[in-house]
């Protein structure tokens, strides 16, 4: 039973999973969490406008990664894989980031393509689902990008059929369009039009109408689930595999877009690092809901790219 560590460094958050991997005789694999943690470091702060990683954002990320490195070593991880996504793909000073990760981990983080990011997220997301509910459409609304991947799961192997990563996420759409607090109707209309335009590139490649089950992963989806469920505090067990009917999803998003910073921050299920960008992320889910005319609800999974990164080390 190998013990592995997975680190996902995105535009908004950096996350760690230390897990034991068991491979069954029938070929299936499953993870037993030893340690799972998330910190919002906003690595992609301002990248969309400047093309560079902010020094303060780099330092926040360094502090978190130093702590993660100490944890995974203390927990006895035999291997570690760290992937870096949208913010580092776009930054002109990304060598500063990779030098820092190599100094801490002993090997640099991997920059993965958007399509590989989507594939790993799909593998992590579908493992707890009934194969008969497929094909599955997994959507990961991150800070700087949104991944869509359609595929199947036979109980042993996840098989992506089509995937596309698009350059729109909760941080990017907020920084570009949602400048007021709360955003104005004109800003929301601008953001909606931008999301539709950018996501069209994914709809052109991924045959979303073939999906029978729509799955949302990562922080925007799980936060929207917590709000929709009316949870008094964030509860991963209650959120995992919960379902949000489309009308409730739209209602939750529209509510978030009418609240100001102080009102959003008062909700205990919204992580402080997501308070400024959750409205933008929820708007992307609204646009997706409008396009997925044959599906009535969003299933939310707490398992995502982190689980896929861990399983990829087998």
217-252 core/surface letters (b: 16 or more CB in 10 A; e: else): bbbbbbbbbbbbbebeeeeeeebeebbbebebbbeb
Neighbours of 295 (CB within 10 A): 18
Spatial separation of the C-alpha atoms in residues 4 and 17, rounded to whole Å: 8
- Report how far apart, in Å, the C-alpha atoms of 136 and of each of 44, 117, 133, 200, 285 are: 29, 16, 7, 19, 16
DSSP type of residue 206: S
Which residues, in sequence order, are bridge partners of residue 7? 16, 82
From 4, 87, 2, 9, select the one nearest 307 (Cα to Cα).
Answer: 4
Determine if the pTM surpasses 0.85: no
Taking the domain 3-111, which CATH number applies?
A: 3.30.420.40
Spatial separation of the C-alpha atoms in residues 145 and 284, rounded to whole Å: 11
From 157, 133, 304, 155, select the one nearest 221 (Cα to Cα).
Answer: 304
Q: Is the peptide bond before 119 cis (omega within 30 degrees of 0)?
A: no
Q: How many residues does the chain have?
A: 314
* Cα-Cα-Cα-Cα dihedral sign, residues 226, 227, 231, 234: positive
Lookup result for tokens 């009535």: 296
SS3 assignment, position 139:
strand
SS3 assignment, position 12:
coil
Where would I find the H helices in 161-291?
A: 170-176, 185-203, 218-228, 236-239, 246-258, 261-265, 278-291
- Beta-strand relationship, 29-40 and 79-84: unpaired
pLDDT of residue 173: 94
pLDDT of residue 83: 93
All residues at 6 or more sequence positions from 312 whose CB lies less than 8 Å from its CB, including other chains: 81, 120, 123
Domain extents for the chain? 3-111, 129-305
Q: Which residues of the chain have pLDDT under 50?
A: none
Q: Are 49 and 144 in contact (CB under 8 A)?
A: no
From 171, 285, 183, 173, select the one nearest 227 (Cα to Cα).
Answer: 285
**Fold of the domain spanning 129-305:** Nucleotidyltransferase; domain 5 (3.30.420)
Spatial separation of the C-alpha atoms in residues 140 and 300, rounded to whole Å: 10
104: left (phi over 0), alpha (psi -120 to 50) or beta: alpha
pLDDT of residue 28: 62
Spatial separation of the C-alpha atoms in residues 52 and 265, rounded to whole Å: 28
């Amino acid at each position: 039973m190998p013990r592995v560590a997975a680190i996902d460094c995105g535009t908004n958050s950096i996350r760690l999973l230390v897990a034991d991997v068991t491979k069954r005789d029938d070929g299936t694999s499953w993870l037993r969490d030893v340690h799972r943690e998330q910190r919002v470091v906003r690595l992609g702060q301002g990248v969309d406008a400047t093309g560079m990683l902010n020094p303060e954002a780099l330092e926040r990320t360094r502090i978190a990664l130093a702590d993660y490195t100490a944890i995974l070593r203390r927990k006895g991880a035999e291997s570690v894989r760290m992937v870096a996504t949208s913010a580092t793909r776009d930054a002109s000073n990304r060598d500063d980031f990779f030098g820092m990760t190599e100094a801490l981990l002993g090997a640099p983080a991997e920059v993965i393509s958007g399509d590989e990011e989507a594939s790993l997220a799909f593998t992590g997301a579908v493992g707890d689902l009934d194969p008969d509910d497929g094909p599955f459409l997994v959507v990961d609304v991150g800070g700087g990008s949104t991944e869509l991947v359609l595929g199947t799961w036979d109980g042993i192997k996840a098989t992506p059929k089509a995937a596309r990563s698009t350059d729109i996420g909760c941080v990017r759409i907020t920084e570009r369009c949602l400048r007021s607090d709360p955003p104005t109707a004109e800003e929301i209309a601008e953001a909606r039009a931008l999301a539709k335009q950018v996501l069209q590139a994914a709809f052109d490649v991924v045959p979303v109408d073939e999906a029978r089950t729509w799955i949302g992963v990562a922080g925007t989806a799980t936060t929207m689930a917590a709000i929709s469920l009316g949870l008094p505090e964030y509860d991963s067990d209650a959120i995992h595999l919960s379902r949000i009917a489309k009308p409730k999803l739209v209602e939750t998003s529209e509510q978030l877009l009418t609240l100001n910073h102080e009102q959003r921050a008062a909700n205990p299920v919204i992580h402080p690092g997501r308070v400024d960008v959750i409205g933008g992320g929820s708007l992307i889910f609204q646009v997706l809901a409008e396009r997925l005319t044959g599906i009535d609800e969003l299933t939310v999974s707490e398992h995502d790219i982190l689980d896929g990164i861990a399983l990829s080390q087998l």
